Amino acid sequence: MKIIKELKKRDFKVATIKHSHHKMEMDRENTDTWKHKEAGSEITVGIGNRTFFNIAKDLPLERILFLIKIIEEPDFVVIEGFKNYKYCKISTSKGLEDEFTLKTVDALNIDEKEINSLVDMIEKTSYDIVDTLTTNECGYTDGESIGKAIVNNEISYNPDDTDVYLSINEKLIGLNYFVNNFIKNSVVGMLKSLKTKEYGINRSEGFEKIELIINTKKNK
């Protein structure tokens, strides 16, 4: 919680993921959304002053991160749990340290100065979804090795290196620079020929974010 608050103080947009083996609050019995799910709904969405998605399956972390990026595109995603995944992490137990661990802390007694120091480290060593990482640095050929090098301050991460995210059959596909730029320039070029103004999109102002789904499977 303290890391989230400090990131917000620095004017970052923050998303969070909580991994738990226990029933979450949105599954509370006898609520309307719980009844919808019990009746067989695969996806239940609750909308009030907030929007909640309740999906009837355990999604892998990479899929969740991809969906978060589509919905909101935060600056940082703070993840609690998923300790075996290849992202920079703060450990609360020495037995849980690995090569992606930035630091081990006493979560109950951590002070403001240490929080500030941790968030400084997070700003410097955080990176995008592992499978999307690319670099021109020699010796780093896959997302995991690139992430590890960023955590160890061997290379720096530029979030502008990747701006196309491709998922096929719910699996995120890593793209190199050539394919990333080819897809981006091709799609943007074609969209500029559409009459988007009637939908409230002014081509002269540019397209900030394009979301495209191609369904190649015949409907049931």
Q: Phi-psi region for residue 93, left (φ > 0), alpha (ψ -120 to 50) or beta?
A: beta
Q: What percent of the chain has pLDDT over 90?
A: 31
Please give the Cα distance from 60 to 55 (Å, whole number). 12
**Structure tokens that stand for 99 in this block:** 């090569």
Most confident of 8-12, 21-25, 135-139: 8-12
pLDDT of 219 strictly over 70: no
Q: What is the mean pLDDT of the chain?
A: 86
Is 156 within 8 Å of 133 (Cβ atoms)? no
**Stretch 186-199: mean pLDDT:** 90
The DSSP annotation for 92-130 comes to: SSGGG--TTEEEE--TTT--HHHHHHHHHHHHHH--S-G
How do residues 81-112 score in pLDDT, each as one tens digit?
A: 887 889 999 888 877 788 898 888 888 888 88
Please give the Cα distance from 153 to 148 (Å, whole number). 9
How do residues 19-32 score in pLDDT, each as one tens digit?
A: 876 666 666 777 78
pLDDT of 183 strictly over 90: yes
Which whole-number Å values give the CA distances from 131 to 69, 162, 169, in the listed order? 14, 11, 15
Please give the Cα distance from 158 to 124 (Å, whole number). 10
pLDDT of 143 strictly over 60: yes
Most confident of 6-10, 22-26, 141-145, 172-176: 6-10
pLDDT of residue 127: 92
